[in-house]
A and B are shown apart, each in its own frame.
Chain A
C-alpha cells in the first residue's frame, strides 16, 4: 500500500478511468497485496480472502467503480473502504456468529481492568497468537478491529461500513478488544475482575 508521503497514483487512476488496461495493471500490482491482507484479516478463510480480493478488483474494473472515487481524498483510504464494505457484505450474508453480535450496543462496558495485568498480557503475546485469537472473534468484532488498526479507518467510516451509529463505534471496538483478550485466555481476570 502507498507509503506515507508517497504521492497518490493520480495519473494511473485517471487512465484507469478511461479503461486503460496498463493503468489497471499498475493499480492492481500496487494495491492488491494490501487489499488481500485486509480481506485475509477480515474474513474467516484464506480462500474467502482470495475470492474477495478478486471480486473487489473485478467490480472496480467491470462496474468502473473508480468513477466514484473523489480524487481530493486518499485513494488508499477509499480502496480500504470499498474492501471493508465488500467484506462486511459477505459476512452479513453468511450471518455467522450473529447471535453473539445482536446484543444491545448501547450497553457500554465501563470496566476498569487491572492495567498491570493487561500490560503483562500484551507483553507475553506474540503477533502470531494475536492473529490466531483474531480468527476466533465474531465477525463484527474482527471487522471493527481490522478497519481501525489495519486500515486506519475513521470512526465515521467504520460506523458507515458496519451500519451502526458513530457514537457506538468505540463500544464496538472496546467489546472487540475484550473478546480478543478472552480469546487470548486472560480476559476473565482482566475484564471482570480487574475493576478496582
Chain B
C-alpha cells in the first residue's frame, strides 16, 4: 500500500491512505516504509493531521475502556469465599472415608479384640478398657452402619453436584437436577433391591427360608441353614454355611465352616476354614488353618495362602498352596504345587497329577499313598536374593517396566503428571495425605463393597489405589530427576528426568534392610503428591481473606499511540 500508487492527488502531492497511517502510528511498518511515511508527513499537513487524529482516537479508546464506571461486582469479590465453600464436599468425602474407616477398624479389629479380652477376663473395670473396649462405648456404632450408607449416598450426591456444576451454572437448573436425583432415590421401589442385608448379634437364614438374591450378613454369629439363590457376603466372628448357597460365598470371619452346599466359589479371609460340605467350584482363601475334612468336597481348584492345610476330603482339580505345612490324606484329581515348609502325604492319599514341592524339608511320603508320580522336590534356598544373578536380571526388567509404565502415563496425562510432580514439592502435605490415602482407600474400598455404594466402586477403587502405588514411585522418580537435572514443565524432559530418577529410586528401594522402608516412604510421598494434585484439580479454593469492596482501577497500560518507526 504505497501512497504514491494508491492515493488521491492533493495539489500534486498524493496522500497516505488511512491504513498506512494506522500501521505507522502502531509501529507496524517496516523501517523503509516508515521512513517514507515520516518524510511524507513532513511535507503534507493533511496527512500529519490525520496521523494526529488517529493517535487521539487511540488515546480516546484507551481512556474510555480503562475508565472505571462500575465497581467490581459483589459476586466476583465473593467468588473466592464461595469457591472455597463450594469445594467443601471434598471434606464431606474425607469425613465419609474417615467414618467408614472407623467402622471398619472397629468391626475388623476392635470388636474381635474386645471379645477376646472379655474371654480372658478383662471385663472392663479399668479406665482404658472402659474407654476403648467397653461395649457401651462402641455399641452405638453398630447402628451407625445405616447412617454410613446414607453418608455414602451423600458422598455420591456430592460428586454429582461437582459433576453438574461444570455443566450447569444456573442455580435453578442445578436445583432441578438435584431434586430429580433425590426424588429418584426416594421413589426407588424396595423390591428392585437385588440384595438383602441383615445385622445382629446372631444372624442368618433360617432352615426353611429362601433368599432370592444376594445377602449380606453382619454379626457375631452368622449361620445359613436355608437357601440363598444369589451370593452370600459374610462378616462375622463365627460363620457356618450349613444350607444351600447357589452363588458364591465371600467371607470375612474368624472361623468359617462350610457344612452345606455351595454351588459357586468360596473366597474367604478367615482364621480357620473348615469344609465338611460341598463346594462345586473353586476355593481361594487366606487363612491360618484350612481343613478339608473327609466328608468335604471341592469340585474345582484350591488356592491357598495358609499356614496349615489338612486335606482329607476330595479335591476335583489342582491344589496351589503357599504356606507352611500340607498334610495330605484325601484325594486330589489334579496336580499339586506347594511352596512351603513341610509336606506330609499319608497312606490314604491319592493324587492323580504331578506333585511339585519346594520346601525346607524332605517330604514325608507314605509308601501306601497312591501317587501318579513321585514328588518332585526342590529344597528351598535361603541365600540372600542379591547374591543371585537372576535377581539383578529381574531388577532390570522391573526397572524397564517402570520406565515404560511411566512413559505411557506421562504421555497419557502430561499435565496431571506435571502437577503431581509439583505437588511432591510440598513434602509435609504429600506425606500426610499419602498416609491417609494409603490406609484409607483400601478400607473405604472394602466398606464400599458391602454398602450400597457397590462392589464395582469398591473393587475399582482398590485397583486404582493399587496402580497408584506404582505411579507414586514414578512421581518421586521424576522429582528426584528434577533435583539432579533441574526443574521442567515440558513432557519429554519430564519423562527423561523420571527415567533417571526411577533408576535411583529403584536402587534405593532394594538396599538390604532399609530398602523396604525407603520404598514405603516413597510410596507414601508419591501417593500423597498424586492425591494432592487430584485435590487441586477439583479445588478452586482461594484464600479466605478475600477483599470484597470496590477496587482501585489499575494504572493505564502503555498504549501504542506513539508514532514512529518500528525497529528493524
Residue ranges of A at the interface with B (Cβ–Cβ < 8 Å): 1-4, 17-19, 21-22, 24-26, 28-29, 32-34, 36-37, 40-41, 46, 50-51, 53-54, 57-58, 61-64, 67, 76, 108-113, 115-116, 118-119, 122-123, 125, 127-128, 130-131, 134, 145-146, 148-152, 155, 170-171, 173-174, 177, 180, 195-196
Shortest CB-to-CB span from B529 to chain A, Å, is: 10
Which residue of B17, B46, B419 is within 8 Å of A67 (Cβ)?
B419
Do residues B72 and A19 form an inter-chain contact, with CB atoms below 8 A? no
| Contact (Cβ within 8 A) A115 B22 | no
CB distance from A14 to the nearest CB of B (A): 9
Among A34, A127, A171, the most chain B Cβ lie within 10 Å of the Cβ of A127
A108-B1, A110-B6, A111-B17 known; A170-B65 Cβ under 8 A: no
Which residues of chain B come closer than 8 Å to A40, judged between CB atoms? 70
Given A115-B49, A122-B53: A170 touches B28 (CB 8 Å cut-off): yes
With A25-B544, A67-B489, A152-B559 given, name 13 new contacts (CB 8 A): A24-B540, A24-B542, A24-B543, A33-B72, A58-B540, A61-B540, A115-B46, A122-B57, A130-B60, A134-B64, A155-B26, A171-B19, A196-B10
Q: Residues on B close to A: CB < 8 A? A: 1, 6-8, 10, 15-19, 22-23, 26, 28, 46-47, 49-50, 52-54, 56-58, 60-70, 72-73, 75-76, 79-80, 83-84, 169, 415, 418-419, 422-423, 425-426, 489, 532-533, 535-547, 551, 553-555, 557-560
How many angstroms from the CA of A29 to the CA of B541 in the assembled complex? Answer: 13
Contact B540 A62 (CB under 8 A): yes
How many Å lie between the Cα of A139 and that of B349 in the bound state?
88
**Closest beta carbon of chain B to A62's beta carbon, Å:** 5
Q: Are A25 and B546 in contact (CB under 8 A)?
A: yes
Report A32 CB to chain B, min CB distance, Å: 6
Across-interface contacts of B418 in A (CB, < 8 A)? 67
The 9 closest A-B pairs by CB, nearest first: A25-B543, A115-B49, A130-B64, A19-B536, A127-B64, A1-B554, A115-B50, A61-B540, A33-B551
Closest CB in chain B relative to A38 CB, distance in Å: 9
Docked pose: A171 CA to B22 CA in angstroms? 9
Residue of B nearest to A59 (CB): B540
A-B contact pairs, 27 of them (CB 8 A): A4-B555, A18-B422, A18-B425, A19-B423, A19-B533, A21-B541, A25-B545, A33-B554, A34-B554, A40-B70, A57-B79, A62-B538, A64-B415, A108-B19, A110-B1, A110-B6, A110-B18, A112-B18, A116-B49, A119-B49, A119-B52, A119-B56, A130-B60, A155-B28, A174-B22, A180-B61, A196-B10
Residues of B close to A173: CB separation below 8 A? 22, 26
Closest A residue to B22 by CB, please name it.
A174
CA distance A127 to B52 in the complex (A): 18
Given contacts A4-B555, A149-B58, contact A21 B542 (CB under 8 A): yes
Q: Is the Cβ of B542 less than 8 Å from the Cβ of A151? A: no
Residue in chain B with minimal CB distance to A54 = B79
Among candidates B17, B52, B65, residue contacting A146 with C-beta atoms closer than 8 Å: B65
- Docked complex Cα distance between A28 and B548 (Å): 12
* Cα A109 to Cα B19 with chains together (Å): 7
B23 contact set on A, CB distance < 8 A = 170
Kindly list chain B residues whose C-beta atoms are within 8 Å of the C-beta of A195: 8
Q: How far is the CA of A184 from the CA of B28 in the complex (A)?
A: 27
- Complex CA gap A145/B61 in Å reads 8
Asked if A170 and B49 make an inter-chain contact with CB atoms under 8 angstroms apart, the answer reads: no
Identify which of A17, A67, A152, A171 contacts B557 (C-beta below 8 A). A152
> What CA separation (Å) do A34 and B58 show in the bound complex?
19
B15, B65, B540, B545: the one contacting A149 at CB < 8 Å is B65
Q: Which of A57, A113, A128, A146 contacts B69 (CB 8 A)?
A: A128
The interface centre, meaning the residue of A22, A40, A115 with most chain B CB atoms within 10 A of its CB, is A115
Bound together, the chains give a CA A24 to CA B418 distance in angstroms of 18
Name the residue of chain A whose CB is nearest to the CB of B418.
Answer: A67
Partner among B26, B56, B539 whose Cβ is within 8 Å of the Cβ of A19: B539
Most buried by B among A4, A32, A76: A32
Q: Which of chain B's residues have a CB closer than 8 A to the CB of A22?
A: 543
Which residues of chain A come closer than 8 Å to B543, judged between CB atoms? Answer: 21-22, 24-26
> Cβ of B65 and Cβ of A131 under 8 Å apart?
yes
Find the A residue at minimum CB distance from B56: A122
A17 to B362, CA, bound (A): 62
Give every chain B residue within 8 A of A61 (Cβ-Cβ): 83, 536, 539-542
CB-defined contacts of A111 to chain B, threshold 8 Å: 17-18
Please name the residue on chain A nearest to B169 by beta carbon: A51
With both beta carbons as reference points, the residue of chain A lying nearest to B72 in the complex is identified as A33
Residues of B within 8 A of A58 (CB): 83, 540
A118 to B52, CA, bound (A): 10
Q: Is the CB of A110 within 8 A of B558?
A: no
Complex alpha-carbon distance, A63 and B418, angstroms: 12
Partner of B46, one of A17, A146, A171, A196: A196
What residues of A have a CB within 8 angstroms of the CB of B22 in the complex?
170, 173-174, 177
* C-alpha spacing A95/B243, complex, angstroms: 69
In the complex, which of the residues B7, B72, B540 contacts A32, with contact meaning CB atoms closer than 8 Å?
Answer: B72
Would A28 and B542 be within 8 Å (CB), given that A113-B50, A127-B60, A152-B559 are in contact?
yes
Instruction: Find out whether the CB atom of B559 lies under 8 angstroms from the CB atom of A112.
Output: no
Picked from A37, A113, A115, the residue with its CB within 8 Å of the CB of B52 is A115
Q: How far is the CA of A127 from the CA of B15 in the complex (A)?
A: 30
Contact assessment for B537 and A62 in the assembled complex, using a CB-CB cutoff below 8 Å: yes
**Residue among B53, B68, B69, B79 having the largest count of chain A Cβ atoms under 10 Å:** B53
**Are B57 and A118 within 8 A (Cβ)?**
yes
**Closest residue on chain B to residue A171 by CB atoms:** B19
Q: Of all chain A residues, which has the CB nearest B49?
A: A115
Chain B residue at minimal CB-CB distance from A64: B419
A28 vs B547: C-alpha distance when bound (angstroms): 10
Give bound CA distance, A119 to B83, whole Å: 48
* A109 vs B84: C-alpha distance when bound (angstroms): 51
- A25 CB contacts on chain B under 8 angstroms: 80, 542-546
Q: Is the CB of A152 within 8 A of B558?
A: yes
Q: Which residues of B contact A63 (CB under 8 A)?
A: 415, 537
